[in-house]
Structure 1
Amino acid sequence: MAEAVREFTAIGTRPIRPDGVEKVTGKANFGADFSLPGMLYGKVLRSPYAHARVKGIDLSEAKAMEGVFSVITSADFPKENPSDMSCNILAREKVLYHGHALAAVAARSQSIAEEAINSIKVEYEVLQPVLSADAALAEDAPLVDENLRTNGDESFMPSNVAATVHYERGDVDKGFEKADYIVEEEYRIPSAHQGYIEPHACVADVNEKGRASVWCCTQGAFEVRNYISEVLQKKISDIKVTPSEIGGGFGGKTVVYVEPVAVRLSELAGRPVKMVMNREEVFRATGPCSATVCRVKVGANKDGIITAAKAWMAYEAGAFPGSPVTPGCMSIFAPYDLKNFVIDGLDVLVNKPKVAAYRAPGAPQSMHAMESAVDELARKLNMDPIDLRLKNAADEGTEAPYGPKYPAIGLVECLKAAKVHPNYVNKPAKDVGRGVAVGFWFNIGMQSSAEIWVAPNGAVTIMEGSPDIGGSRASMCLMAAETLGIPYDSINAVIGDTESTGFCNLTGGSRTTFATGLAVVRACEDVIAECKRRAAMTWDLDTEQVDWENGFAVPRPGVNIEAEPLSFAELAKTAGRTGGPLVGRASVNAQGAGACFSVNWTDVTVDRDTGKVDVQAFTAVQDAGRAIHPSYVEGQMQGGAVQGIGWALNEEYIYDDNGVLENASFLDYRIPVASDVPMIDCQIVEVPNPSHPYGVRGVGETPIVAPLAATANAVREVLGFRINDLPMSPPRVLEALDNAS
């Protein structure tokens, strides 16, 4: 049950973003903006084959070249028990995808580094690549990794299946027996790029004592520090990572590619090394999201109650284990209160780059399948698609398919809000198709730290370690202002390096405003406790006799004392005489992040001559728990919608038969531009998360989930038949029209 509405003074307002001026004027420092005196330039040699055994590498010419200071291969990394991450950063016995890094050089100039890379001679034994989940699962499939056994079980034969996932409840067979209508379909989605504008970049400087300082664009400085430590087997205390501003991440910058290489090159050269990927390298050698195959069977009775559901899905992991098949399995049936279901998922190796996260990793693919099937059920039942979802919607107390019972969630509220929204009530024009879908992400908490420093004039600095992608600086300041009872403008948030603040997990999974925000609130409460102690000292009272109200220390009601309230600014000004500077700190392992649900609908037209799909209107309704900064929430909703529309209509990695990516640029890999999409209308629903003092639930992942199915369902409405495979690009639409005729 939603709590009564609380009144706030800072939370829910829309201040201008604190980093906006620096970014629009070009003063903000991004990954490639860092430079150091005497800096060298690093370049990487990449494999021209998708699958090959490395028979030998001749580095002699590169090492002898004037202006080259260091040359490395995987032989220069620790040799004992190399991790998958290490083998992905620099290949060892085999190259496992086209673009796999094999060697690196550091030179006085980029041109010398390029020349040195081109001088390296490699002898390959070319092997047959495995380029799809279907091919990888075939009985006679070549093995990407001859030592891989499913789930690490040594009793199994080597396989391309790294892991399996299974969830089930009830009796699926009996559930289908009760169904009056059944939909059973297969859906395919190729890999897609996160679309971040800034390529991966870093500068590494290792001093004579072996201490490494790294500046890089990343979603998690502490993760980069830990990865460097793991790959190079260096002590964590010998590594300092400073995050830059980040020109987009969306999950793609939760991984390291060049940072350990730059550190090792710097260590050997004795000089700083800068490495910046070009756009082609980003496409060919970093992680996209998983390509997937999803098979779904869903049954419902004539009243519209879903009686059973079954799903099988295969997620491409790339060349190393670790696809988001588990979140995909967790998400596929999450919006529904199902009594009978079975979910099976496979993590499948193929000869492509190891996948990385992309907003709500795994959920858009699996939920596209389910939401498309639910749309077909609604058609069979002749029922409004929102009404069908309301009949089966998960609510507070519903047991999620992956185990726990949901606390307060906002799916029902979102569906009800959508049903009466003017954009839904007003029916689309002739030849315009409308599609509805539900989105979900379970959200995560994890570890965060924050410190609060109070200056003598009452100005507050928040020091925390979560790189700001979605506007977290403003959100932290708003929560601090609300907690302390002071003006937003008197607070500044700083993103610290790994030696300036306590441990913070990465910015991702929609955790930052929830978890780091919780740490900020707790650190502010620490400051308030100290303010109350200082006021009690001033008034000669016990601390328990002092309250904090709207930025003032006041005697608790009933305390027999005549005293004027002491403001936050006054307490800060006198702090030097009452015990020293006011400081607060907190570290949390945040629990109860709270699932986030959305409802999207899309109106589209289809040009039957060209196959082009045009999105005429798009509306997103989403539960934010509590919108700390509503403009940022709306921005997340709009950005996710645009990315989802792009994924549904155009975006895909296209590989040739040799495993070479054919569209490795933003010229050939087409993301939406402003003229491709309408204004995204947003409605925020607020069902407070009971696990956060301000009701926060993360909002960044969910917006990308529903647009795929909503767009597909709209196209199905226009055409009169469904295109199961994405993207619904003009050639695919024309092919479908030809087949249908």
Structure 2
Amino acid sequence: MATSKSKKPAKSKSKYKVIGTRPIRHDGADKVTGRARYGADTKLSGQLAGYILRSPHAHARIRHVDISAAVVSPGVHAVLIGSDLPEQGDRIAELGEGAVNMRHLRSNVLAQDKVLYRGHAVAAVAADNIHLAEDAAKKIVIEYELLPLVLDARSAMKPDAPILNDDVRTVEFGEVVSDSPTNVAKKVLFETGDIAAGFASASVIVEREFSTATVHQGYIEPHASSAVWHRDGRVTVWTCTQGSFTVRQQLAELLHIPATNIKVIPTEIGGGFGGKISVYEQPLAVLLSKKSGRPVKMILSRTDTFEATGPTPGSFIRVKLGADSSGRLVAGEAWLAYEAGAFPGSPIGPGCMCIFSCYDVPNARVEGYDVCVNKPRTNAYRAPGSTNASFAVESVIEDLCDQLNIDPLAFRLKNAAREGTRRVDGIVYPRIGLVECLEAVGTSDHWDAPIGPKSELKPATPSANGHAAVPVYRPSNLKIGRGIATGYWFNAGLKSSATVNVNFDGKVTLLEGSTDIGGSRAALAMILAETLGIAAEDVNPFVVDTDGVGYTDVTGGSRVTHTTGAAVHMAGLKIRDQMRELAAQIWGCPASKVKFKAGQFNGPEDKSFTFKELAARGLHHGEPISASATVNMDTCGGAFGAHICDVAVDPDTGKVDILRYTVVQDCGTAIHPSYVEGQMQGGAAQGIGWALNEEYFYDAAGTMRNSSYLDYRIPTCLDLPEIETIIVEVPNPIHPYGVRGVGEVPICPPPAAIAAAIHQAVGARMHDLPMNPPRVLAAILAKES
């Protein structure tokens, strides 16, 4: 359960009737009763099972492929290899989440000439069942020529490093700056002020190096898709995706099919966090269906999900900060190298934009590199690139506070970004709420309390339900500490559409195209209800397919409640106008004489209709009431958060326990506070896992050795305390209801906050993630020696 303290502007409590309340989730009954249909739940008549054969090598040239034995294997209906995918040439396509090199996307879906990571897809089989498909795939004979591999960014940047992609050249400011093949696909450079003069004026300068591991989004549901190639050339795909229109566009570009001929039906989704935007199995399911003449379902195993879909990048970061004697930041310099995986596309741009984003740094330089390595092609993961950057810069801030003997909260308040602050990449902040978040930290119960758990469990005693509370075992030698950290995500705007239909019983149907991952159906229904002056329960929201609503970009970047919400609001305004016209027609007066207020239409001579009464009149007067709206928003306004963390460290083993954790975040306006709290808690839990346990562990041959949830350690309920939340509301000036995206920011501060708490507990600074027991113990021993 969340503990929420809302910091709201004056009079905001009475401003809205629906927004800020906590109605029951519209899709809750389907979710808890099992009626909701997820990716693997699609069942079609005559359906075949698809299986993907993957490379056992991290880097190798494909010399020869023999599928003859597989083709005649029992129960097999179709076999694919790389040459079955249409050639793409050297072209870039805009696919809704940035530009993509189509040759690279094609090669990632199914390798043709080279494999670039262990688990790279090399062939696919459709058969009567998954067992026959797997047996047939094992009969495919592939001759590999092994090539040297490289698994980290710094090694891949060396002149003698093995080259993964012969067509990659370094691009800087949109121009190719190297004629030779390279693993460095992109260089990012931001500068502001006079960096040399800034450091010359500093009283204290701290420079440190940091590394972070490759980590996975950890969604519960693996990738799953079903496809039918119809005889008229049309295609239908059911898939658990974060963006049905993005899947449609990727399929159209990859398979050379008109987008109009492709219908993508989004199923419910068991988590994504950025990892279910790119296509993996969908194109193969479509081609296998075309080749076999039957529907094909493909479900990735958990191992395949780990080894062959997009995790977040490992990184190496160097940060240098200078401050004057009063504790004012005067200069900052950062160097970042992010692992893109097999193909270019790491979030190095966002990382460079975010690294100094929480502070007013007048003189700064940020240099970043997108580097290919023999790992799976990276994908987004909740504020992609920002968590890595936050860990580095916040840790250096802590070092500065130590050397200046300044309280870390006071230092952050003194240097916090605020309205008018210019970010290193040139953006000038509008109204933002970082200062309010830090002030909320200072007045929180957590900040004022002794370090430790919020409430120690007492010795086992029966509770009201008959269960006994379990006493917490804490060895007497544990060292405790507290840390804080901030985080930022700029959020995305992009394009969204919505359609609203008014029914004659006064209820409203909402059709939208944003996959619901965190409760967005309820939030969008509430936005529409607030606009129309009706109850949230009177809105029926539906996530529909690509033929059922206008173009909508992905569920990602914390954009749905903001941007799709803006489209819903706009459609609601159109509905209000139409209903005013209907009332005017009934009353025989100009529409300008009909006023709308709080769900009621008021006309001349004290005439009035409630929304429901007027909707019922629509059956016999005028035309059906329906409206659609589409918006394209360049920005979401950005969001900030600050976290407090208490830890206990066992100095004999290096094990770290989280004793207490509080998330403070500016969400602009909390549409449904329960879902806002859930996003804050979920992001913090993932950030804690990233900080303490999670990593892709590769051997020297490039094989991931922990590709299951048994060995890849995400936090469980035994690893986490109650995560408390404090919602701060500084309305976003560019949104009709002041919304800021919520989902990305809370993953950013945890590693840095935990590192600061570890330092206070044992005096050791941590520079590498994850901060697992061996690393923490090594840091303790190094400090003691």
Give the TM-score category using the shorter length: over 0.9
After TM superposition, the score normalised by the length of structure 1 is 0.98
2:711 is aligned, of 664, 668, 678, to 668
Work out the CA distance in 1 between the residues paired with 2:423 and 2:506. 46
Unaligned segments of structure 1, at least 5 residues: 556-560
Work out the CA distance in 2 between the residues paired with 1:575 and 1:680. 49
Trace 1:409-558 onto structure 2 (pairs within 5 A): 409-428=432-451, 431-555=479-603
2:202 is aligned, of 160, 179, 185, to 179
Trace 1:111-510 onto structure 2 (pairs within 5 A): 111-151=131-171, 153=176, 155-428=178-451, 431-510=479-558
Matched, 1:70 2:118: no
Work out the CA distance in 1 between the residues paired with 2:237 and 2:437. 44
Work out the CA distance in 2 between the residues paired with 1:454 and 1:387. 53
Provide the residue aligned with 2:642 in structure 1. 599
Q: For residue 155 of structure 1, report the CA deviation from its aligned partner.
A: 4.6
Provide the residue aligned with 1:584 in structure 2. 627
Q: For residue 4 of structure 1, report the CA deviation from its aligned partner.
A: 5.1
Work out the CA distance in 2 between the residues paired with 1:336 and 1:154. 32
Work out the CA distance in 2 between the residues paired with 1:334 and 1:437. 13
What code does the residue aligned with 2:164 have?
Answer: V
What code does the residue aligned with 1:470 have?
Answer: G
For residues 206-247 of structure 1, what are the alpha-carbon distances to aligned partners after superposition, in whole Å with 9 as ceiling and x for unaligned?
111111100000000000000111110111011000001100
Provide the residue aligned with 2:46 in structure 1. 38
After TM superposition, the score normalised by the length of structure 2 is 0.92
Contact 2:479–2:762, Cα closer than 8 Å, also in 1: no
Provide the residue aligned with 1:60 in structure 2. 68
Provide the residue aligned with 1:15 in structure 2. 23
Work out the CA distance in 1 between the residues paired with 2:167 and 2:226. 35
Work out the CA distance in 2 between the residues paired with 1:280 and 1:684. 38
Q: For residue 546 of structure 1, report the CA deviation from its aligned partner.
A: 1.4
Runs of 4+ in 1 over 6 A off after TM superposition: none
Q: For residue 405 of structure 1, report the CA deviation from its aligned partner.
A: 1.4
Work out the CA distance in 1 between the residues paired with 2:629 and 2:590. 24
Work out the CA distance in 1 between the residues paired with 2:177 and 2:486. 41
For residues 581-609 of structure 1, what are the alpha-carbon distances to aligned partners after superposition, in whole Å with 9 as ceiling and x for unaligned?
11121000024411100010100010112
Work out the CA distance in 2 between the residues paired with 1:83 and 1:467. 28
Local SS of the residue matching 1:218: coil
Work out the CA distance in 2 between the residues paired with 1:432 and 1:608. 10
Work out the CA distance in 1 between the residues paired with 2:184 and 2:419. 36
Contact 1:646–1:671, Cα closer than 8 Å, also in 2: yes
Matched, 1:621 2:664: yes
Contact 1:2–1:408, Cα closer than 8 Å, also in 2: no
What code does the residue aligned with 1:41 have?
Answer: A
Contact 2:494–2:635, Cα closer than 8 Å, also in 1: no
What code does the residue aligned with 1:59 have?
Answer: I
Contact 2:88–2:106, Cα closer than 8 Å, also in 1: no
Provide the residue aligned with 1:94 in structure 2. 114
Work out the CA distance in 2 between the residues paired with 1:581 and 1:511. 31
Provide the residue aligned with 1:108 in structure 2. 128
Work out the CA distance in 2 between the residues paired with 1:245 and 1:80. 31
Please give the root-mean-square deviation of Cα atoms over the aligned residues, in Å.
1.3
Local SS of the residue matching 1:42: strand
Work out the CA distance in 1 between the residues paired with 2:8 and 2:241. 36
Local SS of the residue matching 1:528: helix
What code does the residue aligned with 1:550 have?
Answer: A
Work out the CA distance in 2 between the residues paired with 1:173 and 1:413. 32
Provide the residue aligned with 2:99 in structure 1. none
Q: For residue 182 of structure 1, report the CA deviation from its aligned partner.
A: 0.9
What code does the residue aligned with 2:571 have?
Answer: A
Q: For residue 5 of structure 1, report the CA deviation from its aligned partner.
A: 3.5
Q: For residue 736 of structure 1, report the CA deviation from its aligned partner.
A: 2.1
Contact 2:386–2:488, Cα closer than 8 Å, also in 1: yes
Q: For residue 379 of structure 1, report the CA deviation from its aligned partner.
A: 0.9
For residues 347-386 of structure 1, what are the alpha-carbon distances to aligned partners after superposition, in whole Å with 9 as ceiling and x for unaligned?
0000110001100000000111000000111111111111
Q: For residue 717 of structure 1, report the CA deviation from its aligned partner.
A: 1.1
Work out the CA distance in 1 between the residues paired with 2:512 and 2:299. 26
What code does the residue aligned with 2:499 have?
Answer: E
Contact 1:518–1:590, Cα closer than 8 Å, also in 2: no
Matched, 1:654 2:697: yes
Provide the residue aligned with 2:459 in structure 1. none
Provide the residue aligned with 1:637 in structure 2. 680
What code does the residue aligned with 2:295 have?
Answer: P
Provide the residue aligned with 2:103 in structure 1. 83
Contact 1:572–1:581, Cα closer than 8 Å, also in 2: no
Q: For residue 563 of structure 1, report the CA deviation from its aligned partner.
A: 4.0
Work out the CA distance in 1 between the residues paired with 2:295 and 2:8. 55
Local SS of the residue matching 1:368: helix
Work out the CA distance in 1 between the residues paired with 2:494 and 2:88. 30
For residues 113-161 of structure 1, what are the alpha-carbon distances to aligned partners after superposition, in whole Å with 9 as ceiling and x for unaligned?
0111000000010000111112101121110112211016275321110
Local SS of the residue matching 2:161: coil
What code does the residue aligned with 2:337 have?
Answer: A
Q: For residue 497 of structure 1, report the CA deviation from its aligned partner.
A: 0.3
- Identity over aligned pairs, percent: 50
Which shows bigger deviation, 117-126 or 20-29? 20-29
Work out the CA distance in 2 between the residues paired with 1:277 and 1:527. 43
Count of matched residue positions in the alignment of Structure 1 and Structure 2: 736
Q: For residue 564 of structure 1, report the CA deviation from its aligned partner.
A: 2.0
Work out the CA distance in 2 between the residues paired with 1:606 and 1:518. 46
Work out the CA distance in 1 between the residues paired with 2:400 and 2:540. 52
Work out the CA distance in 1 between the residues paired with 2:9 and 2:233. 54
Contact 2:357–2:417, Cα closer than 8 Å, also in 1: yes
For residues 253-310 of structure 1, what are the alpha-carbon distances to aligned partners after superposition, in whole Å with 9 as ceiling and x for unaligned?
1111000000000011000000000100001101110000000000101100001000
For residues 656-714 of structure 1, what are the alpha-carbon distances to aligned partners after superposition, in whole Å with 9 as ceiling and x for unaligned?
11110010000000000011011111100000001111100000000000011001111
2:727 is aligned, of 679, 684, 689, to 684
Provide the residue aligned with 2:463 in structure 1. none
Provide the residue aligned with 2:469 in structure 1. none
Work out the CA distance in 1 between the residues paired with 2:417 and 2:590. 49
Local SS of the residue matching 1:640: helix
What code does the residue aligned with 1:399 have?
Answer: R
Provide the residue aligned with 1:721 in structure 2. 764
Work out the CA distance in 1 between the residues paired with 2:742 and 2:88. 41
What code does the residue aligned with 1:77 have?
Answer: L
Q: For residue 578 of structure 1, report the CA deviation from its aligned partner.
A: 2.4
